[in-house]
Each structure stands twice: as structure tokens, then as C-alpha cells.
A and B are shown apart, each in its own frame.
Chain A
């Protein structure tokens, strides 16, 4: 079966007929995009692998309930993003609540991490990390609030329109625009701190 000509909706149709190869086609279309999003969100490749696999497993096992009037890519990104954000929230609760008073959403995290931004004198592990994820811009993205990160990655890596991002993130359009603009402003600032 040759799927390359078919759009996602038709491939899903074949998958629902029980064809393993159609699931494979959906994976080959979205495993890299989904994994890329998740790994840039959690900045831990093996954890990202688990979360991205979880997203596909969840989506595929519920494929019979997928609404074909909805874009498959938006659906899979929504599932992956929900899983990832849930994970980050849980992790934050586990770590932050122990040693820090709960401050403004995400601010403590951002400030803390900003100190670790590689700046010429990187520690060895930061160095390998920034190598793996392509250097300073990746590291800077890693220091944004998770919501900003998702929005910016969906915008620039996936080329999604703002309203699609709003749909995937289940947020109002205006909020998404603000996240993206603020996120970029923070990135610009972070990158300038490093090069200055």
C-alpha cells in the first residue's frame, strides 16, 4: 500500500480498517515533529522518548474516536502537548514546592535556569546538552516558560498558524499571540546577554 499520496485523513481511514502499515505511515509523518517538540520541552531525550511514545500510543488506541473533521496533526500535537505540560507541572510540584515558596507561575524556574545559560564557560554537561540540542538558541528556548516554549516551537518549527496553535494549546488566540511575542522578546534578551 502506497500512502505517500494520501492526506492524513485517508491514512487514518486505512488505519481504522486495521492496517498496521497505515499506523506506520502516520508515525513516519509525525514521529520527528512530535519528538522534536517534546524533547525541546523537557530537554531530556530519554524522557522525551517516553512522553512522545505515550502520545502516539494514546492517540492510536483512541483513533476510532478521532473526529475526521479535525486536523490529525493538531490532534496528535494536542495530545503530546497535554502530556508534556502535565509532566512538567507534576515535576515542578515535586521539586519546587519542597525548597521554594510557590511564587508566580514559572518565574522562579526561569530565573533559576537563566543562571545556567551557557556563556563561554559552560559546564561539561551543559556543553554536551547544548551540542545535542543544537547550541545556544536551543538552550535559550529551554529557559522560557513551558507555555512560551510550546507556542514558539509550534510557530517556528511546525509553521502552524496562530489560530491552530490556540487550538492545540486550548488557549484564546490573544493569549497565544502574547506568549509568542513575549517568548521571542525573552529569547532576544537571553541571546544578547550571552553575546554581549
Chain B
């Protein structure tokens, strides 16, 4: 809100704007500038106040239609309709202005304006004493506020500006809002109490923060663990699925290991020795030869496994039972907990704690 797209209008222009003496195009330019410039807004506010004190506000020279509307809305407590305008016509502008203000203060305060943000909730008297909307055409006070603070989208801004050009009533409303908006923009910051910084820093462990940050940035393992933590199941059903999915390969691997190690000639130490031997050969020998060795190793293991199965029916039967049970459990869990997408739901938050 501090950078200005347009230059400040000269003092005369602001005064003329406050006095509604600018041609529409120039007025629109100033209006646009005021939207982004608190300084000029407050200057205009000053002129408007001054004009108001002189009771020479040109904005209060109303159209005939507006006067009719005012008179139509005056309750019986007010002077008889018909007499007031005539008197006013003859009276100096100051008296006319005062009269109009008085009349407007008598108007019934029904509801808010169409589209006003406070139109929901209890109906509250409109303190501005503004005439009720003519049709649905007037922009709501939210739009007026948006115009003054420059938060309207271009299309809406254009519509509201065009309306204000033709509607003195809404220009009044905008004028009523302007001082508040300017005052709010002028609030500014208050000085922080003395000793604020040292009191804060006394309770910040700079080294600990830096150390944690360093560890965080250095360790990909930690990041992997965090990722795993995010994929971790978040409900007991999630754990069931993970368990069921994990059971099948675990059981199969276990069964294979059991079957292989059950062979009387094969020990775990023997397999490791064989692997080490083959690996050394791989490293020392040419790639092609090593590939050949690898193929023969794979084939060897397969044949060994088949032989183990043939020669050790006891462990084989046991592993088949485990495998079947694992498969059944997986299938059961999967069937029970589908659909799976609900498990993936995880929220990312920016909250510090």
C-alpha cells in the first residue's frame, strides 16, 4: 500500500476534487490515486471537512429525484412534504444543506444496503442516516470500502466507479467512509518496549537451532526417514493392510531360505563363501566372463533349491503352510479394507509446533 503507481495530484486538484469541481475524467483519476495514497486521502479529507464546516459542500446540491425520494421517506413527525423543498429553494445553500441533513436523520433506518456485508444478522440502524437504496443498483458498503482501499477487481472497480459518477448518494457514502479508511491507514506501528530484543535473545538457543538445522540439511537418511514417516499408516486399518501386503513376500522369502538351508550340503557360511568367491572373480575377471559366472550361479541356486525341495519334504511342507497362510491373510485384509485411498490422506501443516 505504500508504492504509488500514479503521481500525487497537485494541491489544487485535490481541493477541487473535494469540492466536486473536477470534470468526471479528472475526478476518476484522482479517485484512483486516492485509493492507493493515504496522504492524499487525508488531504482530501481535510478539504472535505473544511467545506463541510463552511456548509458549502457541493455534493449536497441534490438532484430532483433525490429530493423526491427524501421527501417520500419523511415520516409524519417531519414538516409537511411539499413545503420544505420550496423553502429550501429560496434559502441560501447553507440552510438547504442543514435542512437536508435534518430530513435525512429522520428517515427510517430500514435494513442495510443491498449486498452490504452486515445485511446478515440482526438489523442494525444505519448510523449514516442514508436514504434506503433505490432499486438494487447501489453498490454495497463492502464495495465502497473495496473501492477506497483498492481491493476491487478491475471489472467491479469499473462498475462501481461508473455508478459513483452518476450517483451523488453513493458518492456521499464513499465520502463518509473515506475518513475512517484514512485514519486506519495512518495507524502505523508502535515502538517496541526497551529491552525487547535482549529479552528474546536470552531465551533463544542459537547454537542448538543452528545444530539442528545443520543436521537437517546434511542427512539424506533423515529426510528418507521423514518421508517414510509420512507414508507410515495412520490407522489400525492401515497397519492391517501394510501387514497383509508384507506377509506374502516375507513368508515366501522365509520359506525359500528355510528350504535352501535345509539341504544337508548347504550351510549359510558356504553360501557366503561362494558369493564372495564369485564376486572376487567378477571384479578381477572380464565383464563377459563374470556375466557367464552369474548365469551359472543363478542356475546353480535354482537347481540346488529344486534338489532341496526333493530331498527335504519336512521343511518344504512347513514353508508351504506358512506361504499359504500369508497369502490368505493378505487377500483377506485387502478385501476388507478396500478402498485404499483413504489411507494415503495426510495433511501438511505450516504450524510451528
Chain A residues within 8 Å of B, Cβ to Cβ: 15-20, 23-24, 27-28, 31-33, 35-36, 39-40, 45, 49, 52-53, 56-67, 70, 75, 78-79, 133-134, 137-138, 152-153, 155-157, 159, 162, 177-178, 180-182, 184-185, 187-189, 191-193, 196
Contacts and interface: CB of A to CB of B under 8 A. Distances in A.
Contact of B142 (A24, A39, A133, A181): A181
Interface stretch (B52-60, B69-77, B183-191, B298-306): B183-191
Interface string B143-174: 00100010100000000000000000000000
A191 B180 contact: yes
A65 B184 contact: no
Given A18-B206, A58-B352, A133-B190, 4 more contacts: A16-B210, A24-B201, A28-B197, A61-B209
Contacts of B183: 137
Contacts of B151: 162
Nearest to A18: B210
B1 interface: yes
B213 A49 contact: no
A52 B201 CA distance: 13
- Tell me the interface secondary structure of chain B in the complex: helix
A32 B185 contact: no
B196 interface: yes
B117 A181 contact: yes
Nearest to B202: A57
A70 B176 CA distance: 38
B213 to A, nearest CB: 4
8 smallest CB-CB distances across A and B, nearest first, come from: A18-B210, A181-B117, A159-B1, A156-B184, A64-B213, A16-B213, A31-B192, A64-B212
A92 to B, nearest CB: 21
A103 B228 CA distance: 47
B190 A188 contact: no
A185 B207 CA distance: 49
Chain B CB within 10 A, most for which of A159, A178, A180, A181: A181
B41 to A, nearest CB: 12
B2 interface: yes
Name the interface size band of chain B. 35 or more
A178 B140 CA distance: 12
Given A63-B213, A64-B216, A137-B183, A75 B191 contact: no
A23 B185 contact: no
A152 B187 CA distance: 11
Contacts of A137: 183-184, 187
Contact of A35 (B116, B127, B190): B190
Interface of B: 1-2, 116-118, 124, 127-128, 141-142, 145, 149, 151, 176-177, 180-181, 183-185, 187-193, 196-197, 199-201, 203-213, 216, 350, 352-353
A18 B207 contact: yes
A184 B206 CA distance: 42
Contact of A181 (B141, B185, B210, B216): B141
A52 B180 contact: no
Given A27-B200, A31-B197, A181-B117, A188 B352 contact: no
B127 A60 contact: no
Given A33-B189, A162-B151, A23 B353 contact: no
A59 B352 contact: yes
A32 B189 contact: yes
Question: Which of B180, B192, B207, B208 gathers the greatest number of chain A CB atoms within 10 Å?
Answer: B192
B199 A53 contact: yes
Given A185-B118, A188-B127, A35 B193 contact: yes
